[in-house]
Amino acid sequence: MRDRSRDNEKTDPQRTHDPNRGDRPVTRRRALELGAGVLAGAALVPDLLHSRPRSGLATQTDVILKRIPRSGEEIPAVGLGTWQTFDVGSDRRQRTALGEVLRSFHRLGGRIVDSSPMYGSSQEVMGHLAVETGLIDDLWVATKVWINGQAEGIRQMEDSMALLQRPSHIELMQVHNLRDVQLHLDTLEAWKAEGRFDYIGVTTSSERQYGAVAALLEAEPERIDFLQINYSLGERTSAERVLPLAQERGIAVMVNRPFAGGRLFGAVRDRPLPGWASSFDCEAWSQFFLKYILSHPAVACAIPATSDPEHLAENMGGGRGALPDEETRRRMEDVVG
C-alpha cells in the first residue's frame, strides 16, 4: 500500500477529512534500505538520562534523542502519526502492510505513535498491530480527547485506551484542538495522579487557535506537559510566539504537519537537494524538512504520517545524525522562500 500524498496531516480543527489527501508526491531519492545503516555513529545528545529506556534504543546509537523538560525522559525525535494512513478498517491486506511499516519504524529507532478518536479506525488498527507485532510494550503512545462534556470525555478516553490495547496506561493524553479544554484538563490531572498517563497535552493545527494556546500556556503552564502544534518550513508562524513560550514554560513541543500538508514537496519539485545539506547528514528533502523542525530548541518530536515503507525510511533518517545550526536554518528558509 502506497500513500497518495507524501504525508497525511490534519489542516483544520473542525474538519474530519484532509483536503490535501489528493496531493501527489514529487520524485524522491531512495533512502537507506529498511533496517540498514542505523547501527553506526555516536549518540548526539550528551549526558543522556534514559529515565525510561526502551529496548531498541541501545543499538540505535545515532538516533537523535530529545529531553522532555518536565521529567528528563528522552524520546526519539521522529515519531509516527496515524491521520488517515492507519484508518484502514478491517482490510487485512492493508493491515498486513501497516504491520510491516510499524516493525520497520521500531527497527529504525522509532517509538512514539500518535492517534486520535477523530482518526476513524486508526486507534483500533494501531492497537491491533502493536499486539500482533509484539511491540505493544515498547511503544510510546499518545492519543487525544475530542468531545464536549466531562462524562463524555471520560468515556471517549476509556474507549481510546482500550482500542490502543493500553487500557490502564498510556504515555500522553492530549486535549484535541482545545475542545472543552478546561473541563478535560481537570480530568486529565486526576488520571495522571492515578498513573494512567505520564503526560498531559493540548493540540492545535490551526493558526486561528494560536492566541488561545498562548493564553493557556501563560495562565496555567503547570497543567500542561506537551503542546502539539503545526510547525514547518512552510508554516513558521508558531515560532514567533508560541514555541518560545512553550520553551520558556518548560513544555515539550510535538510537531504535526511537518511537511505542511505535502505542500513543501511541491515547493521543491524537480529541484536537487542543496549540496550543503550533507553537512548535517541530510540525504532527502523529507530529512531536510524534518531536521529544520528538530533543530528548533523547543521541539521534542515530529510525527510525520505515512504508510509507505520508503517514505518511512527517509523520514526516520531525519531523526539521525547532525542537526543544522542557526545560520544553516536561515539558509534552509531561503531555499523554500
Question: Using one digit for the tens of pLDDT, what is the confidence trace for 71-108?
Answer: 999 999 999 999 999 999 999 999 999 999 999 999 99
In this structure, is the dihedral angle defined by the CA atoms of residues 177, 14, 236 and 260, taken in order, positive or negative? Answer: positive
How does pLDDT run across 193-250, given as a tens digit for each residue? 999 999 999 999 999 999 999 999 999 999 999 999 999 999 999 999 999 999 999 9
Cβ pair 226, 253 in contact under 8 A: yes
Q: The whole model's pTM is what? A: 0.85
Which residues of 176-241 form beta strands (DSSP E)?
197-203, 226-230
What CATH number has the domain spanning 56-336?
3.20.20.100
The letter for the amino acid at 269 is R
Instruction: Give the integer Cα–Cα distance in Å for 122 and 163.
Output: 9
Chain centroid to Cα 265, Å, comes to 19
Domain boundaries, the chain: 56-336
C-alpha cell of residue 332: 534552509
Q: pLDDT of the chain along its 337 residues, tens only?
A: 333 346 566 544 333 333 232 332 333 333 333 333 332 332 333 332 233 344 444 345 689 999 999 999 999 999 999 999 999 999 999 999 999 999 999 999 999 999 999 999 999 999 999 999 999 999 999 999 999 999 999 999 999 999 999 999 999 999 999 999 999 999 999 999 999 999 999 999 999 999 999 999 999 999 999 999 999 999 999 999 999 999 999 999 999 999 999 999 999 999 999 999 999 999 999 999 999 999 999 999 999 999 999 999 999 999 999 999 999 999 999 999 8
Instruction: Give the integer Cα–Cα distance in Å for 22 and 4.
Output: 6
Instruction: Give the integer Cα–Cα distance in Å for 176 and 145.
Output: 6
Cβ pair 270, 26 in contact under 8 A: yes
Cβ pair 123, 163 in contact under 8 A: yes
